[in-house]
Structure 1
Amino acid sequence: MVIDSTAGPNCGETALVIPVLWLCGPPGVGKTSVAWRIRARLRQGRVAAAYVDIDQLGMCYPERDSDRGRHRLKVRNLASVVANVAARGATCVVVSGVVDPVHRVAVPGAVVTLCRLRADRDELVRRFRTRSGPEESVAGVVADADEMDASTVADVCVDTTGQAVPEVVSAVMAAVDGWYTVTGAVSPVPVLAPADGPVLWVSGVPGVGTSMVGYTIFRRTLDAGRAVGYLDLRQIGFGASDGVDHHLRAANVAAVWRAYRDAGAEGLVIVGEISAHEAEVPYVRALPAATLTVCRLHADRADLVRRILPRGERGSWSQPGDPLLGLSAERLRQAVNRAVTDSEALERAKIGVRVDSSGRDVAETADAVLAMGAWPLLSGGSGR
């Protein structure tokens, strides 16, 4: 059985094939770290490689019985994202994340090389626990690993047991040598009408808490029994350029929201940075049928210092492209200064509805956002 997709941004008779390398495997095997470094190595070689974490393209709940694991939803969104990054200059895409272990992946507009990463059970469990994975999930991780070991959907398999990430990167690139040079033409994915419905953008500069506040609102909405989607702008913006490409992000938001809406979502929460230079305009244009509310979180310097300085340390999840991870104390202080300057520019521009997060924890800031009344899926207050 082939997983297909019927939604995307391009139209016409034919479109160029975009090579995609998809690294799959159980949680803790190293998919994200390896994929991110492969992209970095390709870019060092002047290959315009994009990156996508497939799990970020399926955060829409509750999932349908007809698409357990949301595999079809993720592949549909991947087809759109691949087309969008190609339109912005990418020549290939590296993907990481869980894959359907039963059905072979087919992504319209792309030729997919599927590489499975595996590790011996003891090492896999150790890695999972090291990254603070919950103990109650260990049995599920082992079951996923067993299922993938029995699967035949992957093109190649690389054993990561006893190997550091750089060694795995070299092994994968040797196993799939030349994957990013595939050429040809295929039928493109079709265009669908823009989706309507409420979209809440929790925005601001680094350190104000956009991700945690937005995710809290998303979780509260689910807990209230509503169908809702979530999207991190940074995680859908790793295209051909290292800079922030709001046009690419906006195109991906529009495509993913269309798919989530078709899957039954009543609303969408997006999180990510905004600038004072009309960064919201591409999103307004990309979402002409939706009701977009931009909520701009603000924090004073003391709070930005308190929140940004610890960001140099590795957390439980190594977020792809985290610009603060691993920075020295001096560079983190520079990041604070940039955040303060950018925040002052946003204050002058008066972009979005301002919510002050200074002195507030995540739950209190989420309460303040909901109190604006701009999120119809929850009626004000804490929603708890």
Structure 2
Amino acid sequence: MDQAEVLLIGGRAGVGKTTVGWEVSARLRAETVAHCVIEGDFMGQAHPAPEGDPRRRKIAERNLTALWSNYAELGYRRLIYTNTVSVLAENEGMFRRAMGANVRIVRVVLTASDATARERLTGRELGSELEQEVEGSARKARILEERMTPDTVRVGTDGRSVVDIAREVVNATGWLADASG
């Protein structure tokens, strides 16, 4: 396979993107499907550069381009990329510039209720930013709902196991000949 492919896993804070991304990777590893994983939230962490600052987007794209170049040079063609809003159409250009104009993009948005997101964030955010994360999570959920493309696969996470969620996400990619089992 020569065409690059990227699985974008998006969703509000507390929905389980990172956890599901790693479980998708475990499932692919078990089937010996070559791939790499990038946690997109780390690609633009530069301060001071508040959310929405064009420098964050620019550094994220430069970092993605550099990492993908290294992976592609070693023969990798599939990428799992987790980031809240990565699935939005406005971010497609970054992936096409970094991975090639013909990259096949699979968009999956994970969903969770406000209560589930708060519960998960409460367990994760042990510092001073819990309320900020909860508010931001609800805001991003609204943005995703309003602006995600029609081809985005929605996967609910409330009350489901990570293994079950990852199975559904892998199925959306078509990367396994038989991902139903």
TM-score, normalized by length of structure 2? 0.78
CA RMSD, aligned part only? 2.5
In structure 1, what residue type is equivalent to 2:115?
A: D
Asked if the contact 2:12–2:140 (Cα under 8 Å) also holds between the matched residues in 1, the reply is: yes
Asked if the contact 1:18–1:92 (Cα under 8 Å) also holds between the matched residues in 2, the reply is: yes
Alignment-derived partner of residue 113 in structure 2: 120
Q: Distance in 1 between matches of 2:58 and 2:15?
A: 23
**Structure 2 unmatched ranges of 5 or more:** none
Alignment-derived partner of residue 22 in structure 2: 36
Q: 1:67 aligns with which of 54, 58, 63?
A: 54
**Structure 1 unmatched ranges of 5 or more:** 1-15, 181-384
Q: Distance in 1 between matches of 2:111 and 2:65?
A: 26
Alignment-derived partner of residue 142 in structure 1: 138
Asked if the contact 2:121–2:130 (Cα under 8 Å) also holds between the matched residues in 1, the reply is: no
Alignment identity in percent? 27
Structure with greater proportional helix content: 2
Write out per-residue CA displacement over residues 6-54 of structure 1, whole angstroms, 9 at most, x where no aligned residue. Answer: xxxxxxxxxx431111111111110001111111211221111111111
Asked if the contact 2:106–2:172 (Cα under 8 Å) also holds between the matched residues in 1, the reply is: no
Aligned length: 164
Alignment-derived partner of residue 168 in structure 2: 171
Asked if the contact 2:10–2:17 (Cα under 8 Å) also holds between the matched residues in 1, the reply is: yes
Asked if the contact 2:8–2:107 (Cα under 8 Å) also holds between the matched residues in 1, the reply is: yes
Alignment-derived partner of residue 96 in structure 1: 82
Q: Distance in 1 between matches of 2:168 and 2:92?
A: 23
Q: Distance in 1 between matches of 2:62 and 2:84?
A: 15
Please list, as runs of the form range in 1=range in 2, the aligned pairs for 1:1-384 lying within 5 A after superposition: 16-63=2-49, 67=54, 70-99=56-85, 101=88, 103-106=90-93, 107=95, 108=97, 109=100, 110-132=103-125, 134-137=129-132, 138-153=134-149, 155-178=152-175
Q: Higher relative CO (CA 8 A, sep ≥ 6), structure 1 or 2?
A: 2
Q: Distance in 2 between matches of 1:179 and 1:74?
A: 29
TM-score, normalized by length of structure 1? 0.39
Rg (Cα) greater in structure: 1
Write out per-residue CA displacement over residues 90-139 of structure 1, whole angstroms, 9 at most, x where no aligned residue. Answer: 23111112225461423122332221111111111111112235432222
Alignment-derived partner of residue 315 in structure 1: none
Write out per-residue CA displacement over residues 285-336 of structure 1, whole angstroms, 9 at most, x where no aligned residue. Answer: xxxxxxxxxxxxxxxxxxxxxxxxxxxxxxxxxxxxxxxxxxxxxxxxxxxx
Q: Distance in 1 between matches of 2:104 and 2:45?
A: 24
